Amino acid sequence: MTRDCDLDEHAALSRRPIDAGAVQALLALDSRWRVSVVSHTGSTNTDLAAAAARGERDGNMVDGAVLIAEEQVAGKGRLGRTWTAPAGSSITMSMLVLLPYVPMAARGWAGVVAGIAAVRVCRELGGVSASLKWPNDLLVTDAEGAERKCAGILGEMAGSAVVIGLGLNVSLLKAELPRPDATSLLLAGSSSLDRAELAAAVLTEIDSLLRRWEGANGDVAQIRAEYLTLCATIGAGVRVELPSGATVLGVATNIALDGSLVVRSDSGELCTFTAADVLHLRPAS
């Protein structure tokens, strides 16, 4: 476990600028990814969506562009929420992927692929307990034994392409956390805080999962099955808060084939919610 007096030193080492060449060198030679790093941008998702639009217009769309930013000032979250972190404290990364063998209706699962990959890396490389919260959060167990949000994932359609954004808190100190239920790999005692190593590992896992998915012609069965094993929401009591102000209390029982959350309400009704339907998903108590 990292001692409080060591936090600043560990954070400083982790916050050295990421070198794109170092990340690329850690990837397989046949990897789809081509990595770029910028020091500052508004949103890596927005930047790659713009690149996708230019590629479709000019007829030269390129699969596998990766953009990592040392600092985002307008990072995007679900429902238009913003995501920010101190420069160098996180992995803020977006990926542009073409999935011609995956039906358009199934491409929303690309964000789930990134979530599964991030959990694998946090567990295997970081040695921390990690899980997913529907629809797009990664939770890790911190030094206090509490499950807290360590990453958010946002998948967006960009014409025929998909842009997947990942924001992973790596070296944030307690005073830097954006909200009480957040944490970082540092605070969770991760054995790796090397952002280049972590980014390359996540990219490798995503590439492997995407290849398997493409090989299955876009069938989501395998992805959904793994997601169900990693999703801490399933089996938990939940409070579903809707944009109308209404709430539904119940137990999350399943993830539908379209990615919707299935909840058995306290009244016994089986309710299905898409991510767009839900303002907040909170524990029932």
Predicted confidence (pLDDT) per residue in 29-81, tens digit: 999 999 999 999 999 999 999 999 999 888 888 899 999 999 998 766 554 56
Per-residue b or e along 107-124, where b marks 16 or more CB atoms closer than 10 Å to that residue's CB: bbbbbbbbbbbbbbbbee
pLDDT(270) > 60: yes
Cα(151)–Cα(128) distance, integer angstroms: 13
Question: Which pTM was predicted?
Answer: 0.93
Cis ω on the peptide bond leading into residue 135 (within 30° of 0)?
Answer: yes
Span 100-118, average pLDDT: 96
Condensed to tens digits (0 to 9), the pLDDT of residues 214-237 reads 999 999 999 999 999 999 999 999
pLDDT value for 130: 98
**What is the torsional sign of CA 102, 278, 233, 199?**
positive
Cα(185)–Cα(56) distance, integer angstroms: 38
Q: Going from the N-terminus, what domains does the chain have, and what CATH number goes with each?
A: 4-230 (3.30.930.10), 237-283 (2.30.30.100)
Q: Name the percent of the chain lying above pLDDT 90.
A: 84
Cα(264)–Cα(252) distance, integer angstroms: 6
Segment (H or E) for 188: none
Spatial contact of 134 and 261, defined as CB atoms under 8 Å apart = yes
